[in-house]
């Protein structure tokens, strides 16, 4: 696990052992992290408006001496970066800052591809919602032309629609699980009812046997 802090450090932890493995010092407080799909690099949101990139593996001694554990992209937000998210299988990074800007980066070049306006007063966090376009290519709730947005941002429709298919598959599996659970409960209730009836019969037989024995003893005494 990697954690970041307002003290300007990123720490690498071993969850099974609960041990601190490594500390990376950064020049400013950090408000968020993102890790690429290959888990080879991490991206830190700097309070100075910059995005810092570092390797998840420990650097060599030469890089440590040259203080090259992290680098930062040249372009920077006008306010603190508060949230980061990876997109398009690690080819793009989305950053949101307190100045109301959301930028889409091309990771390989470290350049901004798209700026999604600063109409918002301030941003404290961002969440990426995928597959929100309808058949006409626009969001019914936001009034955004998704086809135009995908073309500008470099995101393929296939990438956006994949999570929707996964959600449908999960919904189907969940429905099957609920049906199986209901069936299992019905079977259990039926079994409990059968055991209760069987117990009643056993108790009735036991009481009947006891009554017969008592009646026989009274006849013998007479």
Q: Distance of CA 18 to CAs 11, 14, 21, Å? A: 12, 5, 9
What's the pLDDT at 65? 43
What's the pLDDT at 93? 92
Beta strands 30-35; 19-25: pairing state = unpaired
What's the pLDDT at 133? 47
Express each pLDDT in 3-62 by its tens digit. 999 999 999 998 888 899 888 888 899 988 999 888 888 999 999 999 999 888 866 454
Q: What is the rounded CA–CA span in Å between residue 9 and residue 31?
A: 11
Q: What is the rounded CA–CA span in Å between residue 179 and residue 183?
A: 6
What's the pLDDT at 140? 43
What's the pLDDT at 136? 44
Q: Over 60: is that where the pLDDT of 152 sits?
A: no
Band of residue 172 on the pLDDT scale cut at 50, 70, 90: confident
Express each pLDDT in 68-88 by its tens digit. 578 889 999 988 999 999 888
Q: What is the rounded CA–CA span in Å between residue 105 and residue 125?
A: 17
Q: Over 60: is that where the pLDDT of 153 sits?
A: no
Q: What is the rounded CA–CA span in Å between residue 10 and residue 22?
A: 8
Min mean pLDDT across 90-99, 126-135, 185-194 is at: 126-135
Min mean pLDDT across 43-57, 149-163, 172-186 is at: 149-163
What's the pLDDT at 146? 56
More confidently predicted of 110 and 174: 110
Q: What is the CATH number of domain 2-126?
A: 2.130.10.10
What's the pLDDT at 214? 56
More confidently predicted of 180 and 33: 33
Looking up tokens 């019905």 gives 186
Express each pLDDT in 82-108 by its tens digit. 999 988 888 899 999 888 888 999 998
Band of residue 176 on the pLDDT scale cut at 50, 70, 90: confident
**Ranges of each domain in the chain:** 2-126
Do the Cβ atoms of 37 and 90 come closer than 8 Å?
yes
Express each pLDDT in 131-148 by its tens digit. 544 444 444 444 455 556
């Amino acid at each position: 696990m990697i954690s970041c802090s307002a003290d300007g450090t990123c720490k690498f932890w071993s969850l099974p052992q609960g041990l601190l493995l490594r500390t990376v010092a950064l020049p400013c407080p950090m408000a968020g992290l993102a890790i690429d799909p290959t888990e080879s690099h991490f991206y830190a949101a700097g309070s100075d408006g910059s995005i810092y990139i570092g390797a998840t593996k420990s650097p060599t001694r030469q890089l440590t001496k040259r203080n090259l554990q992290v680098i930062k992209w040249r372009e920077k937000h006008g306010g603190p970066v508060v949230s980061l998210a990876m997109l398009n299988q690690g080819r793009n990074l989305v950053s949101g800052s307190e100045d109301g800007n959301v930028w889409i980066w091309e990771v390989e070049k470290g350049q901004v591809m798209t700026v999604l306006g600063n109409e918002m007063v301030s941003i404290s966090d961002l969440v990426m919602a995928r597959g929100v376009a309808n058949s006409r290519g626009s969001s019914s709730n936001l009034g955004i032309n998704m086809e135009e947005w995908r073309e500008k941002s470099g995101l393929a429709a296939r990438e956006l629609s994949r999570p929707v298919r996964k959600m449908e598959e999960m919904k189907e599996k969940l429905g099957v699980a609920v049906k199986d659970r209901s069936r299992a409960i019905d079977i259990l209730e039926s079994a409990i009812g059968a055991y209760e009836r069987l117990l009643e019969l056993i108790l009735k037989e036991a009481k009947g046997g006891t009554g017969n024995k008592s009646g026989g003893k009274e006849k013998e005494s007479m």
